[in-house]
Structure 1
C-alpha cells in the first residue's frame, strides 16, 4: 500500500513540477530540499482536503457512502478505521479496556494495541490498521487524488470461530436473580445492554426502574418484552444504576435520570445463526426468548438435562421467557440434550435465576430449539448522557404498531417547538425492516401542514442493514430560536413492507397510558398529500435531539 501511495504522490509532484516550474535543461533538474518540501506540502494539502470532504469508502468497488463510515487518514496517510467500521464491515470483535488498550479479534487473529497507539476523535475510537490488513483478511487500494479507498476481502469472509464465549473475554456482568417476579425481560434487556460497554466499563443497571418507569401499565408480575425495553431506553427514561434503585422492594425513584443514552439497536428476526453469532462477536449479548417448560425454583423438565445444563424444546408452545445469548459452540454434543436434537451445536445463554441454576447461572440451548432467536435484539451504540442537551418526542411507548399505504415507501413527520435557542443535532426513528433506505429533511419555519411540501431541506440520508432503532447525526447544524416551530421529515423505503412507519398506538391493556395529545405528526405516501397521525389515533415514532446555544 505504501508503495502505491508513494507512486501516486511522486506523479502528483512530477505533474506539478512540469506545469509550474520554469523551463530548464533536463540536466539541470535535480531533486533537493525544495522538491521534498513541495511533495510534503502537496500531501498535507490533499490530506486536509480529504479530512474536510471525507473519503469515498468502498468494499470491492461498491460505495458505502449511504452508511456513513468515517475512515480517516493520519498525517502519514495511514488508514485510521473507526470502531463501527471494524465491527460492521471488517467483522472484528473490538474489546476496549479501562486502561485504554484495545484487543482486535478476527477469526484466529488477535491484535493488541496500547492506549498510545489508538486515537479518540470526537468521542469515536480510531485504530491504525494499514500494517495489519492482511492479517485481518483484507487488502486495500486507494487513490489520494480522488479520495477513494477500496477494501477487498481476501479470506472468503470466514471470520467466526467455531466456538466463542463472552465469559472468556470479560464481556458479561454477574448473573442475577429475578425471584418470583415476571421481570426476565428486563434482566435480559439490561444484561445485553451492560455487555456492550465491557470490558472497558462495568455498570449494573436497575431492573426495578426499567420495569416500573417504562410508560406501560404493567406491574412486576405481568412480564414484558423487548419493545418495552427499547421504548424505555430510546426515550431517555433510563438506564439508571442498580445502586440507585435496588431490585425487589416494589418501589422506584421517578426522579432518577439516565446514566447512558441509547443511540442504536438492531433487531434480527429470521433465526439466522450466522447473524446471531456475528452480533455476539461484534457487539455483545443478544436478547431473545424461548419457551421454558419450568419456572424459577423448579428446575425440573423433560426438556432440561440438569447434569449437563442443557435445554432443548421441540414442542408447539410460544416463547415465555427472555434470556441473553453470550456465545456458541458448533461442536457441542447433541447427546447432552434430552430429548436429543438432530445435530450438534448450541448457544450459551445467561439466565436470571441466580447461580443455583445450570452452570452458575448459564446453560446451553440447542440450535434446534423451536423458539431460540426467533426474534432477537442487540444494543449496538450507547452514548454518555451529555451527548445531546434535549430530546423532543411524542412516543414514550415506542414502536407498538405500524402503518403505511400498502407500499414499501412512505414519508412521516413530527412537528416540534424549540423551548430555547437551540441547535438541531440529530434525529432518531425505527426502521421496521432490514435494508431500509432513508432520507431526513427539516422544515425550519413550520406554519401548517402545507409547510411540509415547501422549503424542506435534506439534511441526511442512509441505509440500515437490519430493522431496529437508529439515531442519525446531522452533517450540519440547524439553528433554532426559542418558540420556533420546526418539522422533521423522514422518507423510507423498506423492501417487502406494506406498512413501513413505526407508530405508537393502542396495543391493549399494556398501553393504557397512551397519550395522543402530546404530538403533531403526519404521514404521506409520496411526501405531497399529508394526513394527520393523531386523527388516526397514533403518534409517529420520530424524535429530535438538540443542543443549547
Structure 2
C-alpha cells in the first residue's frame, strides 16, 4: 500500500474477527523501506552454482595471470589448478586450526604441478668435481656478538625481486644477488648485475639447464668481471656468450663456503658479510604456494636440494625464528617474492648445506 509522495505504508494486522485494527497505517521513511525492500528481493536472486562459481574463479585467474591455452590443454591445466586450489584451501583451514605456521595462496604457478615447477623453475646442480678443501671454507669469528635480527633490504643491499621464468637459472640469480650485496658493501653503490651473463658464459654450468653458485663466482674471477643488468639484460633462455668489458660492473677474487649444515655459521655470515647464496629443497607444493608466515614443512628434504635462493637476513616472528629468503619467481610468488624460512629447526630444507658468498 502506498501513501502520499510515493512513501509506502505498512498495513496493520487483522484482529482475528475479520477486521483490521482501527489505528491508521504507519508511514515509513525512505531510509527505512529501501533496506526492507532489498531484503525481500535478495532471496529472489539465485546464488551461483558451485561449478559456475569455480568457472568464474578460473576465468578470473586466467585473466589475472594472462594465461591462454589451446584445445585440450585448457582442460588438463584446469584440472591441475582445481587440485592445487583444493590443496591450498585445505592447508589454510588447518592453519586456522593451528596445525601450520604459514599460509598458502593461489598464484601464477597454479596450473603447474610441483614436478613441473622443479623441472622448469629451479636448476641448482652440484658440480661433479666440487672441491672439499679448507682453502674455501668460511671460518667465523666466534668472539663477536651477532645482532638478534638483520635485514639487508633495509640497508640498501638488495635489488628488486626478479623472475627467472621457465629457465633453470636460479643459481645465476642467487650468485648475482650475493655479488650485488658485496658490491654495495665495497663501493657503497647498489647496482643490478646480469644473471644472463652467467647463464650464457659460465662454461662449467649448463645455463638454463642448471648450475652452481660457486662456479659462477669462479667465472667472474677468471673473467675479471661481470656485466650490469642494463648492459646484458635477462631473456630467460640460452644464447651465445656476449660479455663485454665495456659493460663490466663488478668483479670478485674468489668465494667462501659455509660449513655444511651449520646454521650458527650461516647466521654469523649473514650478519657480518651480507646476503648469502644458499640452496634449498623447493619441490613441495607447500613451497610453490607459500604466502606468509614462517615456512616449515617436515617433508622438506635437506638432502634433495634443487633450488638456489638468497638469504638476505634473519629474525623472529611471533616467537618463531626465521631466515629472510629472496626467491627468483617474481613478486607474485610468496610475500612479494620473499619467504620466511624456519631457522634453527634441524637445518630446515637444507638451508645451510650449500651456502656460499663471493669475495671482493
**Partner residue of 2:250?**
260
How far apart are residue 227 of structure 1 and its match?
Answer: 3.0
**Aligned pair 1:378/2:320, yes or no?**
no
How far apart are residue 267 of structure 1 and its match?
Answer: 0.6
Per-residue CA distance 1:438-467 (angstroms, 9 max, x = gap):
xxxxxxxxxxxxxxxxxxxxxxxxxxxxxx
Using the alignment, how far apart are the partners of 2:154 and 2:205 within structure 1? 39
How far apart are residue 325 of structure 1 and its match?
Answer: 0.4
1:218-257 correspondence runs (5 A)? 218-220=206-208, 222-236=209-223, 238-248=225-235, 250=237, 251-257=239-245
Using the alignment, how far apart are the partners of 2:280 and 2:290 within structure 1? 16
**Partner residue of 2:197?**
209
Using the alignment, how far apart are the partners of 1:210 and 1:184 within structure 2? 11
Using the alignment, how far apart are the partners of 2:356 and 2:205 within structure 1? 23
**Aligned pair 1:292/2:279, yes or no?**
no
TM-aligned CA distance change 1:309 to 1:252, over 3 Å: farther
How many residues in Structure 1 have an aligned counterpart in Structure 2?
213
**Aligned pair 1:332/2:317, yes or no?**
yes
Using the alignment, how far apart are the partners of 1:307 and 1:326 within structure 2? 17
How far apart are residue 302 of structure 1 and its match?
Answer: 7.1
TM-aligned CA distance change 1:202 to 1:254, over 3 Å: same
TM-aligned CA distance change 1:379 to 1:216, over 3 Å: closer
8 Å Cα contact 2:178-2:357 kept in structure 1: yes
Partner SS state of residue 293, structure 2: coil
TM-aligned CA distance change 1:182 to 1:364, over 3 Å: same
**Aligned pair 1:276/2:266, yes or no?**
yes
Per-residue CA distance 1:387-410 (angstroms, 9 max, x = gap):
xxxxxxxxxxxxxxxxxxxxxxxx
1:64-79 correspondence runs (5 A)? none
TM-aligned CA distance change 1:281 to 1:181, over 3 Å: same
**Aligned pair 1:183/2:169, yes or no?**
yes
Normalised by the length of structure 2, the TM-score is 0.54
**Partner residue of 2:309?**
323
- Which of 136, 145, 149 is the aligned partner of 1:163? 149
**Partner residue of 2:71?**
none
Larger radius of gyration: 2
How far apart are residue 211 of structure 1 and its match?
Answer: 0.9
8 Å Cα contact 1:173-1:202 kept in structure 2: yes
- Which of 324, 334, 337 is the aligned partner of 1:358? 334
**Partner residue of 2:134?**
none
How far apart are residue 310 of structure 1 and its match?
Answer: 2.7
Higher relative contact order (CA 8 A, sep 6+): 2
TM-aligned CA distance change 1:174 to 1:217, over 3 Å: closer
How far apart are residue 210 of structure 1 and its match?
Answer: 0.5
Per-residue CA distance 1:271-313 (angstroms, 9 max, x = gap):
222221221122211111111025xxxxx42786424263545
**Partner residue of 2:321?**
345
User: Which structure's residues are more often strand, by fraction?
Assistant: 1
8 Å Cα contact 1:289-1:323 kept in structure 2: yes
Using the alignment, how far apart are the partners of 2:236 and 2:290 within structure 1? 33
TM-aligned CA distance change 1:158 to 1:255, over 3 Å: closer
**Partner residue of 1:479?**
none
8 Å Cα contact 2:193-2:249 kept in structure 1: no
8 Å Cα contact 1:245-1:253 kept in structure 2: no
Using the alignment, how far apart are the partners of 2:289 and 2:236 within structure 1? 31
8 Å Cα contact 2:314-2:323 kept in structure 1: yes
User: Which structure's residues are more often helix, by fraction?
Assistant: 2
How far apart are residue 218 of structure 1 and its match?
Answer: 2.2
8 Å Cα contact 1:291-1:319 kept in structure 2: yes
TM-aligned CA distance change 1:252 to 1:371, over 3 Å: same
8 Å Cα contact 2:325-2:339 kept in structure 1: yes
**Partner residue of 1:6?**
none
The CA RMSD over aligned residues, in Å, is 2.7
Which consecutive unaligned segments of at least 5 residues does structure 2 have?
1-139
